[in-house]
Amino acid sequence: MADIPENITLDWLGRTLLSFREEMRDMRRDLDSLKRDVRAIREDLDVVALRVIRIESSLTSLRDEIGDLYGRQGELRRRVDAIETKTEG
Protein backbone atom coordinates (compact mmCIF):
# COMPACT_ATOMS: atom_id res chain seq x y z
CA MET A 1 0.00 0.00 0.00
CA ALA A 2 1.24 3.45 -0.86
CA ASP A 3 2.29 5.96 1.76
CA ILE A 4 -0.57 8.13 3.01
CA PRO A 5 -0.20 11.69 1.76
CA GLU A 6 -0.82 14.67 4.00
CA ASN A 7 -3.85 15.75 1.99
CA ILE A 8 -5.99 12.79 1.07
CA THR A 9 -8.00 13.37 -2.07
CA LEU A 10 -10.85 11.36 -3.53
CA ASP A 11 -8.60 10.57 -6.48
CA TRP A 12 -5.90 9.12 -4.24
CA LEU A 13 -8.52 7.24 -2.20
CA GLY A 14 -10.08 5.81 -5.36
CA ARG A 15 -6.71 4.69 -6.79
CA THR A 16 -5.77 3.14 -3.45
CA LEU A 17 -9.06 1.23 -3.21
CA LEU A 18 -8.75 0.01 -6.81
CA SER A 19 -5.21 -1.14 -6.13
CA PHE A 20 -6.35 -2.90 -2.97
CA ARG A 21 -9.19 -4.58 -4.89
CA GLU A 22 -6.73 -5.84 -7.51
CA GLU A 23 -4.47 -7.24 -4.79
CA MET A 24 -7.43 -9.01 -3.21
CA ARG A 25 -8.45 -10.44 -6.61
CA ASP A 26 -4.91 -11.76 -7.14
CA MET A 27 -4.89 -13.27 -3.67
CA ARG A 28 -8.25 -14.91 -4.36
CA ARG A 29 -6.88 -16.41 -7.58
CA ASP A 30 -3.84 -17.71 -5.71
CA LEU A 31 -6.06 -19.17 -2.99
CA ASP A 32 -8.26 -20.91 -5.57
CA SER A 33 -5.14 -22.35 -7.17
CA LEU A 34 -3.91 -23.60 -3.80
CA LYS A 35 -7.28 -25.21 -3.12
CA ARG A 36 -7.08 -27.07 -6.44
CA ASP A 37 -3.55 -28.21 -5.61
CA VAL A 38 -4.62 -29.45 -2.18
CA ARG A 39 -7.55 -31.36 -3.72
CA ALA A 40 -5.20 -32.96 -6.25
CA ILE A 41 -2.75 -33.96 -3.51
CA ARG A 42 -5.57 -35.46 -1.44
CA GLU A 43 -6.74 -37.48 -4.44
CA ASP A 44 -3.18 -38.67 -5.06
CA LEU A 45 -2.82 -39.67 -1.40
CA ASP A 46 -6.09 -41.61 -1.60
CA VAL A 47 -4.73 -43.55 -4.57
CA VAL A 48 -1.45 -44.23 -2.75
CA ALA A 49 -3.32 -45.38 0.37
CA LEU A 50 -5.45 -47.79 -1.69
CA ARG A 51 -2.35 -49.21 -3.35
CA VAL A 52 -0.64 -49.69 0.02
CA ILE A 53 -3.72 -51.48 1.37
CA ARG A 54 -3.79 -53.68 -1.73
CA ILE A 55 -0.08 -54.54 -1.38
CA GLU A 56 -0.52 -55.25 2.33
CA SER A 57 -3.41 -57.57 1.54
CA SER A 58 -1.35 -59.34 -1.13
CA LEU A 59 1.57 -59.77 1.27
CA THR A 60 -0.74 -61.14 3.95
CA SER A 61 -2.16 -63.66 1.47
CA LEU A 62 1.33 -64.62 0.34
CA ARG A 63 2.48 -65.09 3.95
CA ASP A 64 -0.54 -67.31 4.64
CA GLU A 65 0.15 -69.40 1.52
CA ILE A 66 3.81 -69.83 2.46
CA GLY A 67 2.73 -70.91 5.94
CA ASP A 68 0.34 -73.47 4.46
CA LEU A 69 3.05 -74.82 2.13
CA TYR A 70 5.49 -75.06 5.03
CA GLY A 71 2.90 -76.98 7.05
CA ARG A 72 2.20 -79.38 4.17
CA GLN A 73 5.93 -79.89 3.62
CA GLY A 74 6.33 -80.73 7.31
CA GLU A 75 3.48 -83.23 7.13
CA LEU A 76 5.01 -84.79 4.01
CA ARG A 77 8.40 -84.99 5.75
CA ARG A 78 6.80 -86.80 8.73
CA ARG A 79 5.12 -89.31 6.38
CA VAL A 80 8.39 -89.99 4.55
CA ASP A 81 10.18 -90.46 7.88
CA ALA A 82 7.46 -92.86 9.02
CA ILE A 83 7.75 -94.89 5.81
CA GLU A 84 11.54 -94.98 6.07
CA THR A 85 11.30 -96.14 9.68
CA LYS A 86 8.92 -98.98 8.70
CA THR A 87 11.12 -100.14 5.84
CA GLU A 88 14.25 -100.10 7.98
CA GLY A 89 12.68 -102.03 10.80
Domain spans in the chain, listed from the N-terminal domain onward: 8-89
Residue 1: the pLDDT is 52
Instruction: Round the average pLDDT of the chain to a whole number and report it.
Output: 93
Give yes or no for a contact between 5 and 12, defined as CB atoms under 8 angstroms apart: yes
Residue 59: the pLDDT is 96
Q: 29-79: per-residue pLDDT in tens?
A: 999 999 999 999 999 999 999 999 999 999 999 999 999 999 999 999 999
Residue 5: the pLDDT is 87
Measuring CA to CA, how many Å separate 8 from each of 12, 19, 30, 58, 61?
6, 16, 31, 72, 77
86 falls in which pLDDT band (50, 70, 90)? Answer: confident
- Cα 54 vs. chain centroid, distance in angstroms? 14
> Whole-model pTM?
0.56
